[in-house]
Amino acid sequence: MCHLLQHRGEGIKKILKRVQDNINISLKRTYSHINLFTYSPYKKAAFTLAEVLVTLGIIGVVAALTIPALIADYKKIVYVNQLKKICKCN
């Protein structure tokens, strides 16, 4: 009887270990070209080079459109302040 309980205990430990391993595996989400979401214990979630380059391109375009407007506003403020200084002196 005691021998039988030892085997049952080992079986339960193995089952619990498998369940824990499956939980740990299912928590790791990775991306692949075939399936959007696949689960694998060997892969880590990461962005592809194409995704990073597209994001940097979008940021570059937005910066190219906004920086000239910011510089123009800054130059206008500087010009107005210079005029105020000149007018105060006279």
As beta bridge partners, residue 39 has 29
pLDDT in tens, 61-90: 999 999 999 999 999 999 999 999 988 865
Query: Do residues 39 and 23 lie in contact, with contact meaning Cβ atoms separated by under 8 Å?
Result: no
pTM for this structure?
A: 0.43
Averaged pLDDT of the chain: 77
Tokens of 71: 């510089």
Task: Average the pLDDT over 13-27 and give the result.
Answer: 69
Instruction: Indicate the DSSP class of residue 64.
Output: H
